[in-house]
Structure 1
């Protein structure tokens, strides 16, 4: 039963049809065999009892020895005929069963085409294309209601995601003002009370650090909630953009004693200049932050078909294999204590993936060992998803 559940619906139909045809053929074969053998056996009795009783009919008489030999040979012929009849019946049964199974497989495959198409359409659904994806409702009657139900579900999900983004954006927007006021008050207090005792100074600095962290979190949440509304029609020269990012991060790299390298082709793409800058900035900044002193960060870029391939490699502590997907989830941290020391809020890589998907691309950890980590980013040149 468990093995049956693992089979596809097409194979289930094929097997059930084959079993039904085989059972029917076997029953028919047994009945025909029984009827045929009884008829053949009756010939022996017919020969033994044959007597026309008509003197006008020419009779051929055999002596007892010849008659016995004839009857033995005749019985053997009847037995051989029954055996051949049985073999032919079973061969025909096997051929009909296999032929019926093959026909059932192809017929069921054609009948299940709408279900396969339905499955392919649902596989392409994610939170970024809920509003644009619609299942074909002009299909077989059995799937019409299912397609309509799924389309209504997609509408409700799209509305839920929109409300969630709107709530996050509104909450982040409302939080910015009190946080800015708190930061201003703390900075004024620090300037006006430079002679406070060490304990008070430490407490104020702690408050400033936490407010900065909250401000960064709110800013990132606001960015993530507004991604869908950002125009993605800019023509971006990626090599100069990477130069600009490396220049912006030079101070941080010098503080960490990190060497920056690049090997980038001259590639152009269509997208949001602001978002692509943020994507690359976050990845390169992480490569610097989570590196060791004296390490290096290498950014390489090349064009392949209609895609740009970017690799950001560092010589840091690496990422364990079991966390290579989880790190793109919001607020996930491999090492919580270390991440807090670095000032991260746990949204940098989540934002990176959102931006990549929004441009029809992808991002993943291509390798991650104790010798470092390499992030691979694929982005279509025309800003649309390529298969």
Structure 2
């Protein structure tokens, strides 16, 4: 069948139909010739005797004298005629198949031409005019769905590039502005030099943090490093690492997770849950609370991080996991966030074939739910 793949679909369908039609015609012709020779054969001479009642009618003198009914001269004309008709039927059937296949495949050709007409200036143009309920209409619908996904992906990449450029430009602009101010001063003091250097160092650290977080987004997942580890102990260590930040903001973290085991690359998962708890502390209210809980199912574990923080607007929830996306830009920078924390969380959880969801209410709470498969 591989050579057939190199010829147009219309010719392929015609060829296959012609093969089936030829087989059927040959079988029918052979069957009709065979039946004609045995059913409509002329009795042979000498095997019948005259009847006493009617001498013109020959009857067998006894059972033993009955011979087979056959013609000693086969009907060559009938055989030849049948073969000619068979050949004509095959030719007519093949031509009809070619015409019918062309009409049946015309919507496919139209769809192909419509797709070929799409260029870089109208890359996300959808295909319209296929309102039937056949395979071609479903193919057009699938193509339109792919276009929607591509458009969403392109817009996502454009936003990411714009946000990344903005995040990198901000500290660089600050450094350049401070240096230019220092250059305008004819006799800058040592203290002024020191302030400019400190500001440049802080901005450089901020850029390093951003670059490191970008690298973490593309970190390699090592399936051979996946192990079973105690979730409660992991969160206890995370809470201990965030104790200073909790003290500054007067936040209480409650670990309600029992002694359960999770399966995965522990270092990556620890990083993901650290980001979740750290965000819950950063964007919480003074004297607030962060509660970590869990639930177990047959095939997966559920871990929930809920805070009593400022909340997230409903129209922002869809974009909250995008890289470098910020709900409150000024506050995020003030708290030292790079805008990649939740993106890293989503990337790590999806590498473990899990899912992450978020619910929130402005001024009330935010709740992140992580689902991880047990194996």
Which structure: greater helix fraction?
A: 1
> What is the TM-score when the length of structure 2 is the normalising length?
0.49
